[in-house]
Structures are given as structure tokens and as C-alpha cells.
Structure 1
Amino acid sequence: MDIQKLETFIQLAEHLNYSKAAEETYTTQGNVSKHILALEKELTVNLFNRSKRQVTLTASGHELLPYAQEIVHQAHLMQEKAAQVKQRQQHSLTIYTIPTLINYPALEKIATFRNQHPEVNLLLKETENEPLSAIRFFDENTLFFTRLFQLPEHSFDYKIVDQDCFVAVLPADHPLAEEKELSLERLEREAFLLLGKETGLLAPILQLCQQSGFTPENNYGGSRIDLILNMIASGLGISLLMEKTILGKLPEQIVYIPIVPNKLSHLCFVRKKGPHSTANDLFWQSIE
């Protein structure tokens, strides 16, 4: 049902004058007449008695008028609520982040933004390192802090805040523990403790190992770096991990060594190209 026609009905019922009703609804007398006729046709009742001298409500018009007033009132309330929702959304920002956020400058940037813009409703949500093409939660109010081995396609904006690369993590008493750099092929016969597929790190590790002529035997497959480090310290195997995710966490009985070949990862804030909320744009501008 057309709210504009109901508003015309209400104004004509109040003033009983086409000219005044047209003035109140910012239209013409002809449009007032068209609206009333169309509404009467839709409702299949006459709302007004019309004569050359005066306009009066019919009995049906009297009975239906309160319903029209309530519908228009509720429509206005809905418009006001929609405006409030839009305003709130403009000042809301959700940042989805990989679990290793704490190891990179992104956390400091988020904290600085929060302090500078307390008016923004900022929400952090942890998620796995999915391919950008598989992510369904991108909208005008969201960003993603993620690890990329290949920078995104043209449909995404991104800002790099750090970089990282793989290292071999070994027990301190391992025969190769004193090496300054390790060729991956020298680790072919080792028992590997690798992070699972959901972390986004297994595929590039497999590619590096296969490039070096072997497929590693993986004896883990979860997402807990701390557990991998404890298993290495217990002599259960070795691992390939991102260097900055283990700094400051290594037990004394563990060492890490640069490897060749290697893959450089980019730690990025990413968002879809297109219009964004005020909060989203404020955060994007704050990233150096």
C-alpha cells in the first residue's frame, strides 16, 4: 500500500479541502484527486462524499482513517529507526583478523585508532586465513587483517603493514642446529610438525618442499604454535613456521634457522573496493 496515498487521505480528511491538502502534501490538487481515487479503487470503498460545495468523509472513510494514521505513523517510525541504524553502521567497524595478529604492527595500529576514535564501535573477530575469494563477510563496515603470499586482485584494496618468511625450527641438539642457513632438501627425512590447512600456511610449505624434491611427512595439522614448539622441545620433530610468530616464544632447547628456498608473506589490511562506512574510511586513512 502506497504511504503517499495514505498521507493524502489523512490530509484531505483533516482539511476537507483539496487545495489545502495539496499544500500540505507538496503536490497539486489534481494529484490529490488521483491519489484518493486510486486508494478508493484499491480498498474498493468510497472514502469521501464529493459535491461542488464541500467534501466530507463517508462512513467508510471515518472507519478507515485511524488505520491509515497508524500505518503512516509506523512508517515514519520505521524511517527514523532506519536512519538511526544507518548512523550506527557508519560508526561501526568490524576487523576480522588471523590468530597471529599480536605478532605484527597491525595490533598497535588498531589500538592507536581505538584511542583516537572512541566514537567508533570497533569489534575484532578472529578468523582463519582464508583465500580472499572465499570470504563472504566483506561489506562496507568490515576489514580483514590477513597474510598473503600473493597480493590481491583488482577487486580489493590492501595496505601492507609487515612482511614475514619461513624459518626451520629445530631442537637445539639437532645435528643441523648450528647451521646459519638451511637448504630444505637437507630436511627431507625429518618428521615435520606443520600447521593445518586452515591457517593458510600448509600449502606454501608443501610447495617449497616439493620444489626441493620431496613431500614432507606431517605429524601435526592443528593451529597451535605453542603446542608445536613444545613438541619440538620434546624431540618429536621439527617445523617450518613464520619467523615473527615465534620470536620471544622459543624455549631454550629450540633454535630457528633461515631456509632456502623461501616464500615472503605480506601482512595486510584488506577491504573490498567500493563505498565504505565512515569508520572504515577513517581507519583506512589512519594506516601509514
Structure 2
Amino acid sequence: MELRQIQYFMEVAKREHVTEAAMALHVAQSAVSRQIFNLEKELGVNLFIREGRNVKLTMIGQMFLEHMEQAMKVIDEAQREIEEYLDPMKGTIRIGFPSSLASYTLPTTISAFRDRYHQVKFQLKQGSYNELIEGVINGDFDMALIGPVPKQEKKVAGTTLFTDNIVALLPLSHPLADSPSIKLSQLREDSFVLFPKGFILRDIIVNACGQLGFQPKVSFEGEDIDSIKGLVSAGLGITLIPEITLVDGLPRSTVKIPVMEPEVSRTVGVIIPIERKLLPTVRLFYEFLKDFFSILDQYQR
């Protein structure tokens, strides 16, 4: 079994089409077909079912694909580890992040890091709370920025970098728009714009309202921070939102107001895998993150 055969097999499995796989691999279709034939002959099983011009994995083919995906991750990790030990200043860091940290926190830290280590590369992917945790556990990410920092996950280690207040974002036309601060109970009758069910920021807000004996009336839902801010800007409701997402300015026709009684906040930090050691470049960035926010916290105090 050759590495090239595995690569061709995985590309065909991904695209379910030999010609498209060959084009993606920049090789002749006959070369892909031959390698798949040789692989099936060596294994003694059919990995694909032919359906006209398309192909689909057999049951044994699906099982084989899952094992090969894990094997390729190990091979890629070994190659990265060797390259980074030779020169950790030129490695690649794969980071997962939520939309709430996309506009300010992540770009600011990467920019500061690259001022010092300008040859390090980053691969960035946005994900939901659970996707970020699973991605770090499964090896899809080297680390993830996340909020709140999970405390009960046994396969990741979390480090809190800072605490982020949750503030109210109201349209300028709202009766409380001129208030220096508000109580959460004052928003009991308002229409809320929130993340869909299953998003951690929605859970934080719903739980805070629940402590005061009411459930927020949700008029609209948005799957990212910008869409939620846009809906509030259009006067379609109010929201509670992490203050860090407003650091670059408020959406038009809105006002930010601190929420008191109860104060609502979340921890923001970084998670890394417990069962895998960090590669040298990843370790470099991880230590930089902790130092960067420690210095920032001292300065702000």
C-alpha cells in the first residue's frame, strides 16, 4: 500500500467522481483509476460502487476511509513536527474561533505575534462552541479561542485570558437608550435578537433572564455577531452582546448600555488538547497569548 494510493483514494471518496478527483490532483484520470484498482486488488475488497460516471463508497470503503483519515492526520502531524523542530519560526498554527472573537481579539493577537515572528503562518476556521471543542480534541485545530472557557471537558485544557462583560445593545429609539445602566428585568417585555438554540451565547442570555423569572421573547435569530448587530440596528429588537464585539464601534442607530442586577459576563480563553503535545510553533503562540493578555490586563488595571 502506497501513500499515493491513499491520497488518490481519499480524493475520489471526497468527490465521488474519478474525473473530478484527477483534475483536483492534477494527474490523468487513468492514473487515478489504476491506483484505485491496485489498492482494491491489494486489499481484496471493492472500496467503491460504480454508478455511471459517479462512484460511492461501499460499507468497507467507508470504514477504510475513516481509518485512512486518522492515518493521514498522524503522517501530516509527523511531517509538521519535523519541520517545526528544524525551524519553529516558520511553522503553521491551526486555530478555531467563534464569530464573537473574529473582528478584534483574534486579529489583534495574530498581528502582535507576527510583528515578532513574521514567518509563522496561520490557518483559521470559525466554528460554534461545541465544534471548537471537538475540533481541538480530534486534531482539526491545534488550539481554539473560546468563550466561555469550558471547565468540565476532560480532553482539553482551558486557560482564561480575560473576562468579557455582556452589555445591552439597543436601538436609539428605545425608551431606555439614554440610561447610564439598566437592570436586566427592565428588558422583560422587549423582543430579543439572539443566536439560534444550541449556541452558547444564547444559553448565557437565556440563563441570566431565567434567574429573574422570565424567558426572553425572541423575534429574530442570527448565526453570527454581525447579523445580530444589523438586526438591532434596523430596529427589529434588542440584544445582549459581548462588549469585546463592539470595541471597533457601534452599529448605526444603536447604543451600548451596561447591564446591572445581575451583571452578566463570560470568560474568554484558549483551549489546547490534553492527549497531544503542542508542536513548537503552536507552543510559541500559546505562551505568547498568555503573556500578551497578562500584560494587557496589568495595563488596563
Band of TM-score, shorter chain: 0.5 to 0.7
- C-alpha deviation, 1:241, in angstroms: 1.1
Tell me how many residue pairs correspond in the alignment.
209
**Structure-2 separation of matches of 1:283 and 1:97:** 15
Alignment of 1:174 onto 2:169:
no
Corresponding residue number in structure 2 for 1:268 = 269
Contact 2:196–2:221 (Cα < 8 Å) also in 1: yes
Contact 1:114–1:122 (Cα < 8 Å) also in 2: no
Contact 2:101–2:245 (Cα < 8 Å) also in 1: no
Output the aligned Cα RMSD.
Answer: 3.1
- C-alpha deviation, 1:267, in angstroms: 1.6
**Structure-2 separation of matches of 1:159 and 1:113:** 18
Gaps (5+ residues) in structure 1? 1-79
**Structure-2 separation of matches of 1:141 and 1:227:** 26
Change over 3 Å in CA distance of 1:152–1:173 after alignment to 2 = same
Q: SS state of the match for residue 147, structure 2?
A: strand
Q: SS state of the match for residue 203, structure 1?
A: helix
Deviations 1:193-222 (A, max 9, x none): 112235420011110111111111112222
Aligned-residue identity in percent: 25
- C-alpha deviation, 1:113, in angstroms: 2.8
Corresponding residue number in structure 1 for 2:49 = none
Change over 3 Å in CA distance of 1:135–1:261 after alignment to 2 = farther
**Structure-2 separation of matches of 1:121 and 1:180:** 44
With the length of structure 1 as denominator, give the TM-score of the two structures: 0.62
Change over 3 Å in CA distance of 1:123–1:114 after alignment to 2 = farther
- The letter of the residue matching 2:185 is E
Corresponding residue number in structure 2 for 1:281 = 283
Corresponding residue number in structure 1 for 2:245 = 245
Corresponding residue number in structure 2 for 1:87 = 82
Q: SS state of the match for residue 201, structure 1?
A: helix
Q: SS state of the match for residue 179, structure 2?
A: coil
Change over 3 Å in CA distance of 1:115–1:133 after alignment to 2 = closer
- C-alpha deviation, 1:178, in angstroms: 1.9
**Structure-2 separation of matches of 1:180 and 1:121:** 44
Larger Rg computed on CA atoms: 1
**Structure-2 separation of matches of 1:217 and 1:112:** 41
- C-alpha deviation, 1:147, in angstroms: 0.8
Corresponding residue number in structure 2 for 1:139 = 139
**Structure-2 separation of matches of 1:237 and 1:140:** 37
Deviations 1:84-113 (A, max 9, x none): 564247633211111233444443222333
Change over 3 Å in CA distance of 1:149–1:120 after alignment to 2 = closer
